[in-house]
Amino acid sequence: MQPTYIYKILYNKFGKQNWWPVDKEYHKKNNSDFRFEIIVGAILTQNTAWFNVEKAILSIKKDDILDIKNITETNFDTLKIIIRPSGFFNQKAKRLLTISNYIRNNFNSDLDKFFNREIKQIRNELLSLNGIGPETADSILLYAGNKPVFVVDAYTKRLCERIPLKTKLSYDDIQNFFEKDLNRNYKSEELVYIYNEFHALIVKLAKDYCKKKPNCDNCPLNNNCKFFKNLF
Q: What class has domain 32-144?
A: mainly alpha
Whole-number pLDDT of residue 18: 87
DSSP the chain: --HHHHHHHHHHHH----PSP--HHHHHHHT--HHHHHHHHHHHTTTS-HHHHHHHHHHHHHTT--SHHHHHTS-HHHHHHHTGGGS-HHHHHHHHHHHHHHHHHHHTT-HHHHHSS-HHHHHHHHHHSTT--HHHHHHIIIIIT--------HHHHHHHHHTT-SS-SSHHHHHHHHHHHHHHHS-GGGHHHHHHHHHHHHHHHHHHTS-SS---TT-TTGGG-HHHHTT-
Whole-number pLDDT of residue 29: 92
Name the nearest CA neighbour of 94 among 38, 57, 44, 34. 44
The per-residue pLDDT for range 78-102, each reduced to its tens digit, is: 999 999 999 999 999 999 999 999 9
Whole-number pLDDT of residue 91: 97
Which residue ranges make up each domain of the chain?
3-18+150-229, 32-144
Q: How far, in whole angstroms, is CA 171 from its chain's centroid?
A: 14
d(CA 185, CA 4): 7
Q: Under 8 Å CB-to-CB from 48, ≥6 apart: which residues?
A: 86, 87, 88
Within the chain, which residues score under 70 in pLDDT? none
CATH (residue range 3-18+150-229)? 1.10.1670.10
Whole-number pLDDT of residue 126: 98
Same fold, 3-18+150-229 and 32-144: no
Taking a C-beta distance cutoff of 8 angstroms, is the pair 43, 96 a contact?
A: yes
d(CA 27, CA 120): 29
d(CA 59, CA 181): 41
pTM: 0.95
pLDDT > 90 in the chain, percent: 92
- Cβ count within 10 A of residue 102: 18
